[in-house]
Amino acid sequence: MRCILQPRLFAIHDICIRQNLFPVPFLNTRNHYRIVVVDDDQSTLRLLQHALANSGRNLVSVYQDAERFFHERTGGGGQGLPHVILLGLPADSINPLASFARLRSMMPGVPVIILADPDTHDVAEEALRRDAVDYFSRPIDIRRLRHVIPRVIETAILWKSARKPDAEVLTMDEAKERAVRQALLAARG
């Protein structure tokens, strides 16, 4: 019985994916993300721009100065809201969380990942308490960052869809049941 049932489940899953019947968008490597990196370290900017470009699939914008990024955003420049922002905390600043606070007020729904120097972990932890989604200590683990960014974006999309007042909230079992029903109807018709 198990050998017969398993291929049917995979076939139904494939139909659901092909016909886009899942209730929330599932992210994969074919998606294009708008990633913004704001950091005062030029070598970090070059490294992240190269590492996150993903063979030209991702649009990675880099800013060495947070004020330039804020000026472009308020001036109407850019290609829409980014999916995620990587924000380097300046170690020599009097108030290193000022740019983070300004960023959160300008774009409250955009997830922010903090890039921190090893000696600024306490500031990064404070940023996490103020709604940053994660932080990376320098030197940055690129493999982990490539793994974390799609998960952060997926979580942000799920939160946005759950916060819509007219959005129907389904349990995972209800969503699976609905997707299977729609796939079976599509296979019949």
Per-residue pLDDT tens for 140-154? Answer: 999 999 889 988 988
Q: Which residue has the tokens 């922010």?
A: 112
Residue 95's pLDDT band, with cuts at 50, 70 and 90, is: confident
For residues 94-108, average pLDDT: 86
Mean pLDDT, the chain, whole residue set: 76
**Integer Cα distance of 93 and 110 in angstroms:** 24
**Integer Cα distance of 49 and 80 in angstroms:** 19
Q: Give yes or no for a cis peptide into 150 (omega within 30° of 0).
A: no
Comparing C-alpha atoms, which of 64, 54, 47 is closest to residue 32?
54
Residue 28's pLDDT band, with cuts at 50, 70 and 90, is: very low
Comparing C-alpha atoms, which of 168, 159, 149 is closest to residue 51?
149
Comparing C-alpha atoms, which of 161, 178, 51 is closest to residue 115?
51
**Integer Cα distance of 42 and 64 in angstroms:** 7
Indicate the pTM of the whole model: 0.68
